[in-house]
């Protein structure tokens, strides 16, 4: 492990200590390590032995294996060890360089350097952090925490958070708008509200943090009347660049090409991530009893997008989903998230998710009776169970490293009743619903292009 990684580990060890507000770890007794081990397993559903915890504090220079680092990072609120390192590194950069465009260019250049030196895994860990909300158990702090609304349409949009901190407030409190640690703002006891702006539609888990741990959590649902298309330079960018929907509709798909990005002012020599987000009540159904199918492809921009990473994200009331498709040969760099399940491509065979992503690939997701079947081009490639129900489906996102296109989306319940479907055609190119089509073809219900209808 490099010196920089050792510094990150020291920071992780400090957060472990702060999370339980005990004395310095080097002064802990055996019973203290037993309690910490129990808390880690309870929060992450993964064990770390007492002997390993003792070595972390009692053996100078000792650093656990990567699997243990991932568990410890999850306990303090991150999806993985890589995401812990990236979140803190980028956070330090943004703190000192958000004030000017020149500083923004330094941040983007630094993002490219991270990619070049640390490899695809680091970038994908950042991507996965967008939805992987495996947080530690909430800290028992009786602090009132609410929002003025729980559902609001349109972006950007401002939400008012109300709270009442104890007096005197000896603990450190902050509000975090979502999964993104860059959207965290310290709050003080002499005030009782905070206004904050959301720039991304979707279902967000806002959190009141006490000493870095969750004291309260509230869902904030930001909707939009149609698809929202945007790009950014890192997955943690707080401010996205919106692309007008009419610029990307046509030729039977919703598509962002390199030419469109350049026309919108994107610097495609840097890292670029493109998103298509649909967050609307028309999607609302039981996410634990559904069939979702979509056809999409990746459009590479430069050397950094060689793996063609493309993700389908699903956001539900009680959990999230991330299913990847990548170019063949890159399957070991990706993982699957489904509710509480985290399936790592390093330890599980996910070869079925490797395809030629420069052409459209069909991804299907069948969910019923707490079982998940993943299909690629109508072939079952992976199946697994889960235990924590997702609840009501609220939003979806197609996320591309580089540019990308979405051909169609359809959603059915377990009785094969169609709930939502959409194609992306120019005005006048829609196909009447009653018109007969070939098996497997999609039709567009009459209406505004890009809009899914019930």
Residue 444: CA atoms inside 13 Å, Cβ hemisphere, count? 20
- Domain extents in the chain: 3-129, 145-223, 228-423
Give the pLDDT band (50/70/90) at residue 88: low
For residues 227 and 451, give the distance between their C-alpha atoms in angstroms, rounded to a whole number: 7
Q: Which overall architecture, per CATH, does domain 145-223 show?
A: Sandwich (2.60)
Burial 399-419 (b: 16+ CB within 10 A, else e): bbbbbbbbbbbbbbeeeeeeb
Cα angle value 283/287/293 (rounded, 5°): 70
The share of the chain scoring above pLDDT 90, in percent, equals: 45
Q: Give per-residue pLDDT as tens, 351-376.
A: 999 999 999 999 999 999 999 999 99
Residue 330 contacts by C-beta under 8 Å, 6 or more apart in sequence?
120, 306, 307, 308, 309, 354
For residues 339 and 134, give the distance between their C-alpha atoms in angstroms, rounded to a whole number: 9
Q: What is the pLDDT of residue 210?
A: 84
pLDDT winner (highest mean) among 234-238, 247-251, 403-407: 403-407
Which DSSP state fits 286? Answer: B
For residues 23 and 186, give the distance between their C-alpha atoms in angstroms, rounded to a whole number: 24
Mean pLDDT of 96-115: 34
Q: Give per-residue pLDDT as tens, 4-50.
A: 467 788 888 877 876 654 556 667 788 888 888 888 888 788 899 99
Which region, left, alpha or beta, applies to residue 154 given φ > 0 means left and ψ of -120 to 50 means alpha?
Answer: left
Q: Please give the full DSSP string across 100-124, using - where no structure is assigned.
A: SHHHHHHHHHHHHHHHHHH-HHHHH
For residues 28 and 32, give the distance between their C-alpha atoms in angstroms, rounded to a whole number: 6
Structure tokens belonging to residue 12: 């992780």
Q: What is the pLDDT of residue 188?
A: 84
For residues 354 and 361, give the distance between their C-alpha atoms in angstroms, rounded to a whole number: 10
Is residue 221 within 8 Å of 152, Cβ to Cβ?
Answer: yes
Structure tokens belonging to residue 182: 């860059």
Of 226, 200, 399, the residue nearest 312 (C-alpha): 399
Residue 424 contacts by C-beta under 8 Å, 6 or more apart in sequence?
249, 250, 252, 253, 254, 406, 407, 408, 449, 450
Q: Give per-residue pLDDT as tens, 143-159.
A: 889 998 878 899 999 99
Q: Which CATH class is domain 228-423?
A: mainly beta
The residue among 22 and 168 whose pLDDT is bigger is 168
Is residue 216 within 8 Å of 138, Cβ to Cβ?
Answer: yes
Calculate the average pLDDT of the chain.
79
* For residue 316, pLDDT beyond 60: yes
Cα angle value 405/111/397 (rounded, 5°): 30
Q: Give per-residue pLDDT as tens, 393-452.
A: 999 999 999 999 999 999 999 888 999 998 776 443 333 333 322 223 333 332 333 333
For residues 75 and 36, give the distance between their C-alpha atoms in angstroms, rounded to a whole number: 10
Give the pLDDT band (50/70/90) at residue 211: confident
Handedness of CA 71, 75, 78, 83 (dihedral sign): negative
Q: What is the pLDDT of residue 24?
A: 64
């Amino acid at each position: 492990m490099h010196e920089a990684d050792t510094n990150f580990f020291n920071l992780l060890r400090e957060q472990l200590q702060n999370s339980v507000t005990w004395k310095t770890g080097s002064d802990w007794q055996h019973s203290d390590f037993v309690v910490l081990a129990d808390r880690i397993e309870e929060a992450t559903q993964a064990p770390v032995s007492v002997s390993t915890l003792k070595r972390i504090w009692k053996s100078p220079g000792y650093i656990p294996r990567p699997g243990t680092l991932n568990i410890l990072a999850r306990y303090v609120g991150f999806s993985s060890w890589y995401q812990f390192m990236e979140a803190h590194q980028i956070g330090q950069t943004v703190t000192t360089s958000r004030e000017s465009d020149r500083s923004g260019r330094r941040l983007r250049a630094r993002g490219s350097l991270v990619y070049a030196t640390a490899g695809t895994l680091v970038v994908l860990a950042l991507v996965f952090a967008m939805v992987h909300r495996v947080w530690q158990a909430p800290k028992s702090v009786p602090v009132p925490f609410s929002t003025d609304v729980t559902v609001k349409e349109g972006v950007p949009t401002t939400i008012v958070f109300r709270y009442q901190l104890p007096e005197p407030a000896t603990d450190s409190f902050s509000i975090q708008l979502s999964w993104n640690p860059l959207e965290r703002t310290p709050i003080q006891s002499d005030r009782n509200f905070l206004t904050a702006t959301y720039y991304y539609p979707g279902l967000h888990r806002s959190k009141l943090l006490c000493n870095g741990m969750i004291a309260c959590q509230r869902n904030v649902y930001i909707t939009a009347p149609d698809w929202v298309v945007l790009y950014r330079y890192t997955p943690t960018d707080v401010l996205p660049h919106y692309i007008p929907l009419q610029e990307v509709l046509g030729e039977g798909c919703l598509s962002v090409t390199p030419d469109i990005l350049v026309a919108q002012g994107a610097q495609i020599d840097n890292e670029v991530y493109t998103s298509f987000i649909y967050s609307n009540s028309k999607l609302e159904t039981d996410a634990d009893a559904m069939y979702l199918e979509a056809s999409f492809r990746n459009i590479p921009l430069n050397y950094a997008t060689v793996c063609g990473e493309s993700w389908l994200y699903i956001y539900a009331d009680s959990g999230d989903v991330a299913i990847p498709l990548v170019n063949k040969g890159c399957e070991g760099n990706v993982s699957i998230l489904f509710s509480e399940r985290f399936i790592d491509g390093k330890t599980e065979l996910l070869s079925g998710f490797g395809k030629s992503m420069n052409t459209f690939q069909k991804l299907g997701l069948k969910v019923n009776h707490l079982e998940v079947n993943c299909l690629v081009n109508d072939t079952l490639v992976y199946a697994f169970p889960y235990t924590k129900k997702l609840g009501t489906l609220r939003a979806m996102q197609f996320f591309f490293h580089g540019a990308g296109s979405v051909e169609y989306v359809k959603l059915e319940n377990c009785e094969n009743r169609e709930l939502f479907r959409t194609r992306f055609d120019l005005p006048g190119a829609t196909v009447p619903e009653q018109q007969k089509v070939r098996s497997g073809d999609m039709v567009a219900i009459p209406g505004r292009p890009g809009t899914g209808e019930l």
